[in-house]
Structure 1
Amino acid sequence: MINNSSVDGGTPLMRKITPNVIFVQVFVALLLCINFMLITTFFMKDVFFRSMRYLLFANTLLSDCLTLIITDLLLILVFFRITIQTFLCLIVFMLSSLYNFVTPLTLTAMSLERYVAICMPLRHAELCSTSRALQGILIIHCISFIPCLVVLFIFFSSVTDSFFKQNMICTVETFIVDRWHGHIRSAISQLYFLLMCITIAVSYVQIMKVAKAASGQSKKSTQKGLRTVVLHAFQLLLCLIQLLCPFIEAAVLQIDLNLYINVRYVNYIMFSLAPRCLSPLIYGLRDETFFLALKYYALCSPFKNKFKP
């Protein structure tokens, strides 16, 4: 169990704004601006609403935006040791836990969509329709909420009503009352990690088989789909490592507090912010249709005709 007071109360954290904090704020603001442009582009063209991959892409962007806002808010609250009421912390925790899983699960679904498009092209229109995409997004959110429900069920059964009347520095560790609670949370994360890795691996292998047998224009399209799945796999790996970071940080906390703070900062940059940079790259820049639409809506009026999609 991670003692919240030992991190945020027992040893005072520096309240002076440091270059690390400024860097994170600039990075988060930049990513939010980019994602906002991509989301605006998505809503400007009807063709994107009729494609499963673009609907899943939009879901990833919205999930990334919420994750960036929530995690940055938590970072500021912890850094400046600002306390909030328990029920507000509970809401933040639920949203944070939910969208920690939404992004990797959506990436897994996007890889499956590429698998269907390349390995089962005749059934792609049937299996990857708009209605199925919306159903898939709903299922993704339901599956993503299961770990949060498990943690909250254990938490509510372990604390008294007086706990909810307190003000606290909001961290995820607040809701891990006993060590075995952390073990259960770890087991759930590892199960999700395993299932998503297997799904990505199977999709990659099947697409690679088709790529070897394809020729001409078909081979070029298949190779592009294969590269997309590889990028999804790398992005998914970073997102899944993020799920394991709390347990690494808990072990480091037992060794040294300053080391724990540094490790937590590096983990936040590498496994929370960095994966959010790849979503715009994979579909915002590599996808020709979306990239042309992005340039058309991003440029000023005199240049729009040149890039009209």
Structure 2
Amino acid sequence: MSHLNLSQSNITTEQYQGLLERVLFSIFTTVPCCVFLFINFTMLFILRSKAVFCEASRYILLYNLLFADTVMLLLSQLMYIITACRILLTYPMCVVLNMLAALTEEISPLTLVVMSLERYVAVCYPLSHASIITIRTTVVAIIVVWAISSLNVLTRVILLLQFPFEDLQSLQMTKLCSVRVMFVVPTKFDYYNKAYTCFVFVSAGLAIISSYIGVMIAARSASTDKASTHKTRNTLLLHMMQLGLTLSSTIHNPLITAVSDIVTRIVLVRIHSILCLSHIIFPRCLSVLIYGIRDQTIRPLLVYHLCCRKTLITVQFF
């Protein structure tokens, strides 16, 4: 009897420790995500609060990038909480969440390409920049970016139509929501996903590298603004780093799937938390660091809104 009580006590202790560790790791990812979500929402508000931001192409593109990253952060955090709490969704809800995540996930690299090309034109063709990069062409570029991402989602939906929904006794899922669970033949989806991801990121990488080379060549010209060229070159380097980190997020789900069969649930939660922070949250926060801190027009407004009380006190005393 004592052995039975001892074993039950050990099981209860392990369950409590597992639950406690799951909560701690959830806080470990949720707190940074909430902080950057607050900063992102502040940046989105700033970019719509002044006419100078609404009439400049680079800030319109930045708004589109931040909007997609913010939605992606919200969805990834929601999916993480659902997975950590082991909540079983319905099939329609799982499909909607995965398709929205797929839609916003591809916006960042495509928008980075457009932003890099805009900086390239600004440095290499400064006299023609105003006529080439207009509000109209910027809006068209954003529409094209969303259209390409929507085409990717449409293709996923077509692949998803092979799922035998009519054979289901209930729309309630018996497994945790994931993109692989929804496909009858995961191999087809894997082939398509790899092909599409390689195409997008190779194209984006070549476009950014070409823009960087063009800016480097322009930097040797005596008529080029050296300070603007140097700043643009650094921005393109940061874009390449951001693209690489965004690409690393594509290995998140395959890596979790690969290690799920060889590690315990607690270890899997640890790995999932670390990868979620490094592969999903951090790359989506670089836009704020690149533009919110480096841009001389945005930085004072960002500091004011993030430290409003301190700024007001400083103004009152000085």
TM over 0.5: yes
Could you tell me which residue of structure 2 aligns to residue 198 of structure 1?
206
- Post-superposition offset of 1:148: 2.1
Distance change in 2, residues 1:303/1:209 (3 Å): farther
Distance change in 2, residues 1:118/1:15 (3 Å): same
SS of residue matched to 2:164: coil
1:38 and 2:46 aligned:
no
Could you tell me which residue of structure 2 aligns to residue 226 of structure 1?
233
Task: Check the 8 A contact 2:162/2:183 in 1, yes or no.
Answer: no
Task: Check the 8 A contact 2:84/2:269 in 1, yes or no.
Answer: no
Could you tell me which residue of structure 2 aligns to residue 173 of structure 1?
180
Task: Tell me the amino acid that sits aligned with residue 126 of structure 1.
Answer: S
Give me the whole-angstrom Cα distance separating, in 1, the residues matched to 2:119 and 2:168: 47
Distance change in 2, residues 1:160/1:86 (3 Å): closer
Task: Check the 8 A contact 2:55/2:135 in 1, yes or no.
Answer: yes
Task: Check the 8 A contact 1:241/1:271 in 2, yes or no.
Answer: yes
Give me the whole-angstrom Cα distance separating, in 2, the residues matched to 1:123 and 1:257: 60
1:114 and 2:122 aligned:
no
- Post-superposition offset of 1:175: 2.5
Give me the whole-angstrom Cα distance separating, in 2, the residues matched to 1:54 and 1:29: 23
Give me the whole-angstrom Cα distance separating, in 2, the residues matched to 1:35 and 1:196: 24
**Given the alignment, which residue of 55, 65, 74 partners 1:69?**
74
- Post-superposition offset of 1:239: 0.6
- How do 1:203-282 and structure 2 match up within 5 A? 203-214=211-222, 218-256=225-263, 258=265, 260-282=268-290
Q: Report Cα offsets for 1:69-111 as digits up to 9, x if no partner.
A: 1111111111111112211111111110111111121112111
Task: Tell me the amino acid that sits aligned with residue 68 of structure 2.
Answer: S
Structure possessing the higher radius of gyration over alpha carbons? 2
| Range with bigger deviation, 151-160 or 71-80 | 151-160
Task: Check the 8 A contact 2:124/2:218 in 1, yes or no.
Answer: yes
- Post-superposition offset of 1:260: 4.9
1:291 and 2:291 aligned:
no
- Post-superposition offset of 1:262: 4.0
Could you tell me which residue of structure 2 aligns to residue 21 of structure 1?
26
**Given the alignment, which residue of 101, 105, 118 partners 1:96?**
101
Give me the whole-angstrom Cα distance separating, in 1, the residues matched to 2:300 and 2:216: 28
Task: Check the 8 A contact 2:29/2:276 in 1, yes or no.
Answer: no
Task: Tell me the amino acid that sits aligned with residue 290 of structure 2.
Answer: I
Q: When the two structures are superposed, what TM-score results if normalisation uses the length of structure 1?
A: 0.87
Task: Check the 8 A contact 1:67/1:100 in 2, yes or no.
Answer: yes
Task: Tell me the amino acid that sits aligned with residue 128 of structure 2.
Answer: R
SS of residue matched to 1:213: coil
**Given the alignment, which residue of 141, 147, 172 partners 1:142?**
147
SS of residue matched to 1:90: helix
Q: When the two structures are superposed, what TM-score results if normalisation uses the length of structure 2?
A: 0.84
Give me the whole-angstrom Cα distance separating, in 2, the residues matched to 1:206 and 1:260: 45
Distance change in 2, residues 1:177/1:254 (3 Å): farther
Task: Check the 8 A contact 1:147/1:185 in 2, yes or no.
Answer: no
Task: Tell me the amino acid that sits aligned with residue 258 of structure 2.
Answer: A
Give me the whole-angstrom Cα distance separating, in 2, the residues matched to 1:218 and 1:164: 67
Could you tell me which residue of structure 2 aligns to residue 58 of structure 1?
63
Distance change in 2, residues 1:297/1:105 (3 Å): same
Could you tell me which residue of structure 2 aligns to residue 188 of structure 1?
196
Structure 1 gap segments, 5+ residues each: 1-11
Task: Check the 8 A contact 1:38/1:294 in 2, yes or no.
Answer: yes
SS of residue matched to 2:48: helix
Task: Tell me the amino acid that sits aligned with residue 107 of structure 1.
Answer: L
SS of residue matched to 1:81: coil
Distance change in 2, residues 1:214/1:270 (3 Å): farther
Structure 2 gap segments, 5+ residues each: 1-14
